[in-house]
Amino acid sequence: MRVFICFEGSSVPFDVSADQTVGSMKQMVKKNFLVQLSDDKQHQYLELSYSGAALQDSWALCDVGITSGSAIRCLIKNEQRPVLRVFNAVTEETLPIMGSEALLHMSVARLKTVVSMQSGLPVSTFRLSTPAGVQLYDCNRLQDYTIEGGTTLRLDTWDGWVEFLQGCLLGRRLTVQSHLSEKKTVMRFQLQVALYISASLGHLDLAGWLLERGTHAEEPVGVHPHRQWCHQTAHEDSRKSPIHTAAENSQLLILKLFIANNLLALACRDPAGLDPLKIAFQHGHKDCVRYLANKLCSVVSLSNISLPMRIYLQIKRWVGLGQKRAASNRCKFTGAAFKARVGDTLLVDGFNQPNMSSRSRKTVTKANRGLKTKTLQPLPPIRNLLSVPHLHSLQSVNHGDFKEKKKKQKQNVKRREDGLLDEIGKDGSSLCRKKFILPPITTENIWPTSPHTVESFSQHCGQTPREKAIYCLTIASTFTEKPWLKQLSIARTLIRKRVHTMA
């Protein structure tokens, strides 16, 4: 069939088959019109359209209703390629960084700011690395790492934080609550991060729950507790508060929630010295500017006096600074520097590898359990000195058969103990190294004077105290995952409970 290709004001007929694809048609057009597509800064591509719809390369002409005599329009379009791409390991999406090649000469700190605005994550919750796995530090520039245009960087977060951040991005309160850290310092940081993300994306329910937990919208996110000794060199955006990102992203309902919770959020300033009103005005969010301006121009009515909002905020700020200074003076000699404790992990850029590989929480917990079992290896378990086929004392027996079973137990225990003593007499030194041996029986009376003496215990239990001790140690040795001292404690508990029940 014959179709007509309209290109740059001219119409040329082409004889094609009905099952020919659009991709092959484009190759014919390139050869006939001598089309040269540039692939430098802006990617150019050829587009065929029919009845106003763009045709994809895999489509056949007959599938889209193109018949003989149809006219197909041909256009050359420009597609701007991103300068860089960032693969987000939390959401498993690739973020494009648009702009000119001048972005390749910017600092890593500036790039992290751009990535934070696109992803909604605070800068202190992720790191960037090259495809080779080299971490990018904020003080360096991209050209120091020989990063070229079109490179795909990788965004990683702290190990065990993937599920937590996914819950924050989706606004799922239960997911956030179930994946909080057990350490108090890390949990406080996570709550502030969750409030920042909810303010950026407008998750009203999650933000309200976080405010009820005591999280403040006017406080900065800060850095991870593992990096609290390096806070002087931290990214400047780590001093941004949740209310600042709410003003940047035009989250009017979030702003109303934060200001209703605490009026001091109106005077909170970002690292550049801008309050929420100036931030909203700078980004052109008219609704937020109108609301914040009305709040700042309002009057606060107290019991005996009415004050303008700005003066009230200034007085309240002075009172808050005085309370903090008084609290710091009281804790001057008792508070630990940087709130760090013995055993805490400290991370310094360039000196140790941070735990930021985006591993899931399940993987981290399994790895921690493996490390604990390696570092705290239990002693060899207590050997089964008495090869008891099953535990008779743990089974329920009838009262009528109790006397007969006691006699059988006495005979069996005596035979086994006699055989054991013979083995000890033959080679006692080698056996003591491999098996736990009780100390020899003393003739001294170590039991308290009471109606229930050793003879009464042996009569009711059917075993001597020594036999019962060996028996309880045998039961405790089955707990092979516990250390040797813990097994010994279990054996003592069994003996103690047995004595009380007989008493």
Digit-coded pLDDT (tens) for 408-427: 666 665 565 555 445 444 44
Nearest to 128 by CA among 146, 116, 143, 117: 116
How far are the Cα atoms of 100, 138, 148, 268 from residue 254, in angstroms, in the given order? Answer: 34, 30, 39, 15
* Residue pLDDT, tens place only, 279-333: 999 999 999 999 999 998 988 888 888 888 888 888 888 887 887 788 766 655 4
Q: What percent of the chain has pLDDT over 90?
A: 28
Structure confidence at residue 163 (pLDDT)? 93
Q: Which of 22-26, 186-190, 441-445 has the lowest mean pLDDT?
A: 441-445
Tokens at 404, concatenated: 């007969």
* Strand order through the sheet with 93-97: 93-97, 84-88, 152-157, 126-129
* Residue pLDDT, tens place only, 208-263: 999 999 999 999 998 888 877 666 678 899 999 999 999 999 999 999 999 999 88
* Residue pLDDT, tens place only, 448-462: 444 444 455 555 556
Tokens at 257, concatenated: 């929630």
**Alpha-carbon distance 399 to 397, whole Å?**
7
Nearest to 316 by CA among 246, 243, 266, 254: 266
**Alpha-carbon distance 430 to 424, whole Å?**
9
Q: Does domain 196-328+338-354 have CATH number 1.25.40.20?
A: yes
Query: What is the arithmetic mean of pLDDT over 477-481?
Result: 80
Number of C-beta neighbours around residue 429 at 10 A:
7
Structure confidence at residue 179 (pLDDT)? 92
Task: Count Cα atoms within 13 angstroms, Cβ side, for 7.
Answer: 21
More confident: 140 or 395:
140
Structure confidence at residue 129 (pLDDT)? 92
Beta strands in 67-113 (DSSP E): 71-80, 84-88, 93-97
Number of C-beta neighbours around residue 377 at 10 A:
9
More confident: 351 or 390:
351
Tokens at 241, concatenated: 């508060």
**Alpha-carbon distance 170 to 198, whole Å?**
9
pLDDT band at 397 (very low <50, low <70, confident <90, very high): very low
More confident: 443 or 221:
221
Tokens at 243, concatenated: 């209310």
Paired residues of 80 in beta bridges: 42
More confident: 79 or 91:
91
Paired residues of 471 in beta bridges: none
Task: Examine the pLDDT at 75 and tell me if it is beyond 70.
Answer: yes
Q: What are phi and psi of 439, to 5 degrees?
A: -65, 155
Structure confidence at residue 478 (pLDDT)? 80
Q: Which of 127-131, 378-382, 456-460 has the highest average model confidence (pLDDT)?
A: 127-131
Structure confidence at residue 410 (pLDDT)? 64
Q: How far is CA 488 from the centre of its chain?
A: 39
Coil/strand/helix, residue 14? strand
Give, as one character, the DSSP assignment of residue 53: E
| CB contact set of 297 (below 8 Å; sequence gap of 6+) | 309
Tokens at 443, concatenated: 């003739």
Residue 47, H or E segment: strand 42-50
Question: Across all residues in the chain, what is the average pLDDT?
Answer: 78
| CB contact set of 434 (below 8 Å; sequence gap of 6+) | 383
Structure confidence at residue 254 (pLDDT)? 95
Task: Examine the pLDDT at 498 and tell me if it is beyond 80.
Answer: no
Query: What is the arithmetic mean of pLDDT over 478-484?
Result: 79
More confident: 171 or 391:
171
* Cα dihedral sign, 152-157-160-165: negative
Contact call for residues 347 and 230 (beta carbons, < 8 A): yes
Structure confidence at residue 109 (pLDDT)? 92
Number of C-beta neighbours around residue 243 at 10 A:
30
CATH number of 2-80: 3.10.20.90
Look up the pTM and report it. 0.62
Structure confidence at residue 425 (pLDDT)? 47
**Alpha-carbon distance 490 to 381, whole Å?**
13
Task: Examine the pLDDT at 264 and tell me if it is beyond 80.
Answer: yes
Query: What is the arithmetic mean of pLDDT over 140-145?
Result: 89
Alpha helices in 131-251 (DSSP H): 162-170, 173-178, 184-201, 204-212, 242-248
Cα dihedral 135→139→144→145 (10° resolution): 10
- The residue ranges of every structural domain in the chain are 2-80, 196-328+338-354, 392-502
